[in-house]
A = this chain, B = another copy of it.
């Protein structure tokens, strides 16, 4: 494991490298040059070389990158070789969509529980995992070592539930609730604010329409 600080910008790009390398592996590609990778990923070859150099230069001049090796090493850097126990709070459509996400397991995320306030959902299973009532949450956290909590609940409850989770040992929150959680700095938070993504889309459409009008 590299100890030096890697910029968040590079980190943000790593999952995309990981995805492309995974696709190459699926197609039995053993080696790839930064130029070929550049064409596929629409990133300059020099950017690719620079990014991957952060991790100790997996490339060999004239031979390109060993796809399997690079895939495995980036996986390690991303922590995908470590198992993480994960629970989902909120078993609505979004919560169930995530619960059904099969790639969880292959990336080391083991879904251990699903919780919801709605008593009608209690006992229903998603991929073999029963939905539990929120009243069982704290007891569940005491006997299961849960590292990640996924919040797919309305924003009104998100701050309180995030507090409950982290007070009971959860170290990271994958937050889909449309609110900033303001947790202590030792808690890792990754936000997915879908409505902000939709607003960026809206902005870019408006912009694009305006440009096309100007061209006419």
Q: Which residues of A contact B (CB under 8 A)?
A: 1, 11-12, 14-16, 18-19, 41-42, 77-80, 82, 84, 92-94, 96-98, 100-101, 103-104, 107-109, 147-148, 171-172, 174, 178, 180, 182, 186, 188, 190, 192-210, 212
* Complex Cα spacing A194 to B174, Å: 10
- Decide if A188 touches B205 in the complex (CB within 8 Å): yes
Contacts of A98 in B (CB 8 A): 194
- Decide if A12 touches B202 in the complex (CB within 8 Å): no
Within the oligomer, what is the number of copies of this chain? 2
Q: Shortest Cβ distance from A191 into chain B, in angstroms?
A: 8
- Decide if A77 touches B203 in the complex (CB within 8 Å): yes
Contacts of A15 in B (CB 8 A): 193, 195-196, 199-200
* Complex Cα spacing A120 to B149, Å: 33
- Decide if A78 touches B206 in the complex (CB within 8 Å): yes
Can you report 30 A-B residue pairs in the complex whose CB atoms are below 8 A from each other? Answer: A1-B206, A11-B203, A15-B193, A15-B195, A15-B196, A15-B199, A15-B200, A18-B199, A19-B193, A78-B199, A79-B202, A79-B203, A80-B199, A82-B206, A92-B97, A94-B94, A103-B195, A104-B198, A107-B198, A108-B202, A148-B201, A148-B205, A171-B205, A172-B204, A174-B201, A186-B212, A188-B201, A188-B205, A190-B204, A192-B194
